[in-house]
Amino acid sequence: MEIYSQISANKNKTWLIMLLFVVFIATLAFIFSKALGYGLSFVGIALIFSGLISIGSYYYSDKLVLATLKAREIEMQDNPLLFRTVENLCIGAGLPIPKIYIVNDSSPNAFATGRDPNHAVVCVTTGILSLLNKAELEGVIAHELSHIRNYDIRLMAVVAILVGFIAIIADMFMRSLWWGGIKDDDNRGSGNIQLIFLALGIVFAILSPIVATLIQLAVSRKREFLADASGALLTRYPEGLASALEKLEKDKTPLKKASNATAHLFIENPFNRKSSQNWFASLFNTHPSIDERIRILRSM
């Protein structure tokens, strides 16, 4: 019954995140309309805007993620081994067969996205296809299919767009504060605007740890462990995923097109963790340690 309560928790969390996003943008708009005297119609526009983004993220987040990664859909004849692996595991899990995408990148990684099992996508990089053998690939695909069955994909895709949207803006403002500096003596007229940007930057800087915590909340460690466990139940061979994770850990090629917003989608953190140890990046550590996951898989 664990799996069914996880599914409904995921569905509820998705709505919560969408609602929080609308509330957050509306509040921000309200503060600025007060400060600048724009009136309440500004808040109305912000509400409509954020509502549209929210609904759009629910329906189109998978396509957006796939587009930013430049993934292409494959057919049976393009890669029979991968296709059959997905097909067979779907039969075993009683899932409809998802669309299969490949990203042309030598960094080994994989993820699943979509909004429900009927609109799901499994995406792998060419790197993971050349790195893993059949049993290991099965382990990885089974892990991704478990994300699909548990509705993790819906929550993670919505998080990727909405929370990622805020995270990216926060990231940008932090950088411009650090590196851009404030040049105020050139132009008197732009002073006001710069002040607004400074205020925005500070607001976002304060908010980004909260946003990061939100991501952590949504992308709990439990989810990855649960997907590992139900994936192992599906293949009846936990060693496959364990040795795949081991290989993934050794390979340190970073995924070129991944960003903070999409990091939590992948089976393994797409960034080279050892080289990104500043505090801001570490807030976005979305995955439990691989060693721990391997240890649990090996003890099954």
Partner 1 sequence: MLIPIAILGVVLIYVWFIYNGLITARLRVSEAFSQIDVQLKRRTDLIPNLVETVKGYAKHEKELFEKVTAERANLMSANGANEKAKANDGLSNALKSLFAVAENYPTLKASENFQKLQDELSDTENKIAYSRQFYNSNVLDYNTKLTIFPNVLFANLFAFKPSEFFGVDEGDKKPVKVSF
Residues that bind partner 1 (CB under 8 A): 84, 87-89, 91-94, 234, 236
- Structure tokens, 207: 């908010």
Q: Looking at beta carbons only, is 26 or 95 nearer to partner 1?
A: 95
d(C-alpha 270, C-alpha 285), whole Å = 10
Set 138, 144, 224, 268: catalytic member: 144
Q: Looking at beta carbons only, is 86 or 212 nearer to partner 1?
A: 86
Instruction: Name the percent of the chain in helix, strand, coil, to the closest 5.
Output: 70, 10, 25
Three-state DSSP at 180 gives helix
The least CB distance from residue 233 to partner 1, in Å, is 9
The least CB distance from residue 240 to partner 1, in Å, is 15
User: Is there a catalytic annotation at residue 73?
Assistant: no
Q: For the CA atoms of the chain, what is the radius of gyration?
A: 21
Three-state DSSP at 77 gives coil
The least CB distance from residue 144 to partner 1, in Å, is 16
> In terms of Cα–Cα distance, which of 208, 206, 203 is closest to 171?
208
Q: Looking at beta carbons only, is 39 or 80 nearer to partner 1?
A: 80
The least CB distance from residue 88 to partner 1, in Å, is 5
The answer to whether 157 and 114 are in contact (CB under 8 A) is yes
Q: Looking at beta carbons only, is 142 or 258 nearer to partner 1?
A: 142
Active site members? 144
